[in-house]
Chain A
Amino acid sequence: MKQLSDTLFNAVVRSCAIGTLILVSGLCVTLVIHAMPVFRHSGLSFLFTSTWDPLRQQFGALPFLVGTVITAVLGVLISLPFSLSIAFFLGEYFPSGKLSIFFQSATDLLAGIPSVIYGFWGLFVVAPFMQKIEIRLGIMPYGVGIATASIILAIMIVPYTASIAREIIKLVPSDLKEAAYALGATRWEVVRHVVIPYAHSGILAGILLALGRAIGETMAVTMVIGNRNEFPKSIFDPANTMASVIANEFAEASDDIYLSALIAVALLLFLFTTVMNMFGRFVIKKLTVRQES
């Protein structure tokens, strides 16, 4: 025998879960439906051609795909030495103490700054700096471009990768490390031959999650990438990423097919990040479960 109010309460709570589920599936369905017109219009050439000319209704999203991948990968590569150093610093060398708290708070602070402010700062501080470098190198001194965007992205994802990698490094059982120390290994040898082999899949997953984040990052990139819808020829060229082209053109997309093209870009972006996220999370979940059992 169950009381009516309990049944009602359970129904409300359950509908919150169902609501969340509907929200997310609705999100996917909306994107797919509204992206259809452009695929009907251009077919697969949407993905594989590189002319983006809304006036002549030519929609080739390849430059954005390439721009996104290059910017994000470059950003992650630049950030790696820094984020991994912080992770080892906090996870292995200084797991506690004042210095650790200081570093922890500093990286939290870095993670808390809104992305539009990174973009602003990048535009007014990093871009002029890049311009000087480009003049030295004797190339077109745009200032803004893929390289600048990658540097800003790198700064933004350092705290993210660092915190995931640190958690993974902390999962390494201390008796394994102690066994290596007992055999006379130096600290670096323990890191190199015990910690890294044990944690490498988790760290890779963390890098993947960071990549997903870099791909989806919008504001900072939009402000410093230069917004040019052409195929980039060098990493100092202005370009566009999937996120930045949406941010720039969505509000002024006049006709339906143009809008649909931008929504299709959003769909691609969504799929890209979701796949990376799910895979990264899957690996990390597996590792954590292995630890707990």
Chain B
Amino acid sequence: MRTGSYSRRIVISRIMECVIFFFAFISLLPLTLILFYLAKKGMAAIDWQFLTHLPRPVGEEGGGVVNAIVGSAILIFCATLMAVPLGVGAGLYLSEAKEGKLSYWTRVAVDILQGSPSIVMGVVVYLWVVKPMQSFSALSGSIALAIMMLPMVIYSTEETLKAIPCTLKEAALALGVPYYRTILKVVIPAGMSGITTGVLIGVARIAGETAPLLFTAFGSPFLDINPLKPVAALPLVVFNYATSPYPQWWEQAWGASLVLTFLVLCLHLTAKIGTRRWKIQF
């Protein structure tokens, strides 16, 4: 350590503290700005018609995004339905078989999946589903989203179940309960809150995803719940409208952005409150 006069060192320490505080506070500026614009422009676009009507062609006043809201709901629901059983199963395997080759490589695979860019999922699911079926579809969109969600579900299941004391499992086994019943009726219920939180965070993540949907769900101006047809989604609407040349659509994009952000933040909030509220004492 360089030695300087004591007061000088105090001053330097003070200055650095101010610099750190300054940068930390400045980094909140974009958040404030984004929320400000979303609130200002989004509120202006949202009314009852916006939430309940189908889009209208350019030039016609009004129109809404109900197809995108319903489409997003379908996509998220189907993706959750696919990702949760597989993810919980894999997480369970990892928490039970901590060592071993299969666990090691599965963990590596999950890490890779977690770090992969979402557009890559879109490309792969296009090749797997869209190309053989020769049509964009809600199904392919949900598969892409399910793959995005899978790592979150696996991580949270594994972490939650690992934290459950081993004695709980032994208590059930010592009562003569078969292993599979012990897991299904004692271990999983005890970890339910953690797993649910993980699923909610996963849903929040995929709800805002656009890139995997570009060449899978594709978007559609109609309200259609056939899983083999293209379907609209809120993030797709934001993207398509925002990059269109029509100011009228830009306004709608602000409205859709506000709805989407609100939805995602609500999911995060629920997950956060849920973590505290549903916590189980051991």
**A and B: direct contact (Cβ < 8 Å)?**
yes
Given contacts A20-B90, A119-B239, A121-B37, contact A270 B211 (CB under 8 A): no
B residues 226-282 touching A (CB-CB < 8 Å): 235, 238-239, 242-243, 250, 253-254, 257, 260-261, 264-265, 268, 272
Given contacts A13-B96, A82-B23, A117-B208, contact A266 B120 (CB under 8 A): yes
B127 touches A34 (CB 8 A): yes
The answer to the question of A70 belonging to the interface, with a C-beta cut-off of 8 Å to chain B, is no
The stretch among A38-46, A57-65, A184-192, A199-207 that forms the contact with chain B is A184-192
The answer to the question of A217 belonging to the interface, with a C-beta cut-off of 8 Å to chain B, is yes
Nearest CB of chain B from residue A68's CB, rounded to whole Å: 11
A188 touches B12 (CB 8 A): yes
Which of B10, B24, B106, B257: most chain A Cβ within 10 A? B24
The answer to the question of B5 belonging to the interface, with a C-beta cut-off of 8 Å to chain A, is no
Bound-state CA distance A158–B30 (Å) is 11
A189 touches B33 (CB 8 A): no
Question: Which residues of B lie under 8 Å from residue A51 when comparing CB positions?
Answer: none
Bound-state CA distance A185–B207 (Å) is 49
Given contacts A14-B102, A89-B24, contact A186 B12 (CB under 8 A): yes
Question: Which residues of B lie under 8 Å from residue A82 when comparing CB positions?
Answer: 23-24, 26-27
A116 touches B31 (CB 8 A): no
Q: Give a binary string over B145-178; 1 marks a CB under 8 Å from any A CB, 0 the rest.
A: 0010010001000000000000000000000001
B211 touches A113 (CB 8 A): no
The stretch among A21-29, A134-142, A171-179, A230-238 that forms the contact with chain B is A21-29
Given contacts A5-B180, A30-B124, A263-B127, contact A85 B27 (CB under 8 A): yes
A85 touches B264 (CB 8 A): no
A273 touches B90 (CB 8 A): no
A247 touches B211 (CB 8 A): yes
B109 touches A21 (CB 8 A): yes
A21 touches B119 (CB 8 A): no
Of all chain B residues, the one with the shortest Cβ separation from A109 is B31
Bound-state CA distance A106–B28 (Å) is 7
Question: Which residues of A lie under 8 Å from residue B253 when comparing CB positions?
Answer: 120
The count of chain A contact residues (Cβ–Cβ below 8 Å) is 84
The answer to the question of B142 belonging to the interface, with a C-beta cut-off of 8 Å to chain A, is no
Question: Which residues of B lie under 8 Å from residue A15 when comparing CB positions?
Answer: 89
B residues 176-203 touching A (CB-CB < 8 Å): 178-180, 183
Nearest CB of chain A from residue B199's CB, rounded to whole Å: 15
For the A-B complex, the count of residue pairs with Cβ-Cβ distances under 8 Å equals 249
B123 touches A250 (CB 8 A): yes
The answer to the question of A228 belonging to the interface, with a C-beta cut-off of 8 Å to chain B, is no
B34 touches A186 (CB 8 A): no
The answer to the question of B48 belonging to the interface, with a C-beta cut-off of 8 Å to chain A, is no
Question: Which residues of B lie under 8 Å from residue A21 when comparing CB positions?
Answer: 102, 105-106, 109
B residues 108-134 touching A (CB-CB < 8 Å): 108-120, 122-124, 126-128
Of all chain B residues, the one with the shortest Cβ separation from A250 is B215
The answer to the question of B49 belonging to the interface, with a C-beta cut-off of 8 Å to chain A, is no
The answer to the question of B13 belonging to the interface, with a C-beta cut-off of 8 Å to chain A, is yes
The answer to the question of A18 belonging to the interface, with a C-beta cut-off of 8 Å to chain B, is yes
Bound-state CA distance A213–B119 (Å) is 12
Question: Which residues of B lie under 8 Å from residue A47 when comparing CB positions?
Answer: none
Nearest CB of chain B from residue A87's CB, rounded to whole Å: 9
The answer to the question of B44 belonging to the interface, with a C-beta cut-off of 8 Å to chain A, is no
The stretch among B14-22, B53-61, B63-71 that forms the contact with chain A is B14-22
Question: Which residues of A lie under 8 Å from residue B103 when comparing CB positions?
Answer: 17
B123 touches A113 (CB 8 A): no
Given contacts A16-B89, A24-B112, A188-B13, contact A219 B24 (CB under 8 A): no
Bound-state CA distance A34–B132 (Å) is 14
B24 touches A117 (CB 8 A): no
Of all chain B residues, the one with the shortest Cβ separation from A24 is B109
Bound-state CA distance A110–B34 (Å) is 9
Of all chain A residues, the one with the shortest Cβ separation from B111 is A281
B38 touches A117 (CB 8 A): yes
Given contacts A30-B127, A123-B242, contact A277 B112 (CB under 8 A): yes
The answer to the question of B138 belonging to the interface, with a C-beta cut-off of 8 Å to chain A, is no
Given contacts A9-B180, A16-B89, contact A269 B120 (CB under 8 A): yes
Counting from the closest, the 4 A-B pairs by CB-CB distance are: A114-B208, A16-B89, A216-B117, A277-B115
Task: Taking A85-B20, A217-B117 as given, write out 20 further A-B residue pairs in contact, using a Cβ cutoff of 8 Å, ordered by the A residue number.
Answer: A6-B180, A9-B183, A16-B85, A21-B102, A24-B112, A34-B127, A81-B23, A82-B26, A86-B23, A103-B24, A103-B28, A114-B261, A116-B260, A117-B261, A125-B33, A155-B30, A216-B120, A250-B214, A269-B117, A278-B112
User: Can you name 24 A-B pairs with beta carbons within 8 Å?
Assistant: A6-B179, A10-B180, A16-B90, A16-B93, A20-B106, A20-B110, A20-B113, A23-B109, A24-B109, A24-B110, A27-B147, A85-B27, A103-B24, A109-B31, A112-B204, A112-B265, A114-B209, A193-B1, A223-B242, A246-B123, A247-B119, A266-B120, A273-B117, A277-B115
